[in-house]
Structure 1
Amino acid sequence: MGVRSATVMDVPALVGLAKAMHAESGFAGLDFNENIMAATFLELLGQGQFLAVYEREGRVVGGYAGYLSRCCFGADLMAHDYGVFVAPEARGSRAAWVLAKAFVAWAQQAGAKQIRPGVSTGGAGAGAEALYAKLGFRRVGALFAMEV
């Protein structure tokens, strides 16, 4: 039980978690394609970016995907997330906390000057916001969306 780096074998479980996250988030009105999502996870693995899972009783119940990029203003590196998601049956556990701490440690080790995760789950994101605040993050903006 706990967090570990994801492997190719975890991709199907991660796609399932991503599908559930998509349905709960502000992205629900957008297309979800399992093949594209799997390719994104495989790309993260292949590029040495961040992809971790949280296991409980031998089953993946949480995942965190993130990446490092150069800031558009200069040479500093920033770490961003694609998302963190914990299955409903594992919420209230330490899964999100452990996954987020692993992302922070990875970003620090990778040389990021800033870490900028986002929360796009609307009202359900209150828990994520509280989690990031506990980890020492501060709110620096907001996320907006418009259907076109």
Structure 2
Amino acid sequence: MKIRFARPDDVETFVELGRRHHEITRFHCFEFNAEKVRRSLAGLIGYEGGKYCFFVAEDDSGQAVGGLIGCLETHIFSDQLVASIVHYDVLPERRMSGAALRLLMAFRKWAENRGVFELCAGVNSGAHIERTDRFLRRLGFVQTGGNYALRLAPSGQTHSNG
């Protein structure tokens, strides 16, 4: 298992991995916009401001099996850096391969190299919450709250942001 930074040629692979993730999580009721995902991923890969990272886990045959997107930010009350996971997923059939651990360790090292005070991981997919909780706690993470959602539009209804 190899961990590396994402490259432009990874975009299409991660659009499809994103589609799979979308289908098996609570987000399946949202419309999946592949073009928006494509633009977002290309922007992350091309961003040179140092605020984002996009790690790819690939197996011995070079196939991407998971990814982690993270960002640096500060709380409104402090100048200390926090590294937050924006998206983190490994293909269901590869979840016991070590990819998840290696992705998280790469993210941690990236954050440490930038003098980050704290790593933050939110779990809002609605899938495998207990398993993810055990995994993160084993790595030293402490639960500090919860995620809540209130759906306001019926499934399938969209709103334009003009």
TM-score, structure 1 as length reference: 0.91
Q: Which residue of 2 aligns with 1:62?
A: 66
- Count of residue correspondences: 148
Question: Post-superposition shift, 1:25?
Answer: 2.0
1:22 aligns with 2:26: no
Name the % identity.
Answer: 31
Which residue matches 2:143?
A: 139
1:110 is paired with a residue whose SS is coil
Identify the structure with the greater helix proportion: 1
Aligned-partner Cα distance in 2 for 1:28–1:121: 10
Structure 1 residue 103 and structure 2 residue 102: aligned?
no
Once residues 71 and 82 of structure 1 are traced to their aligned partners in structure 2, the CA distance between those partners, rounded to angstroms, is 16
2:29 maps to amino acid: G
Which is greater in Rg?
Answer: 2
Q: Could you tell me which residue of structure 1 aligns to residue 32 of structure 2? A: 32
Alignment TM-score, normalising by the size of structure 2? 0.84
Is 2:130 the partner of 1:126? yes
For the residues of structure 2 that align with 1:146 and 1:5, how far apart are their CA atoms? 35
Q: Mind listing any 5+ residue stretches in structure 1 that lack a counterpart? A: none
State the 4+ residue runs in structure 1 displaced beyond 6 angstroms: none
Superposition RMSD on alpha carbons, in Å? 1.5
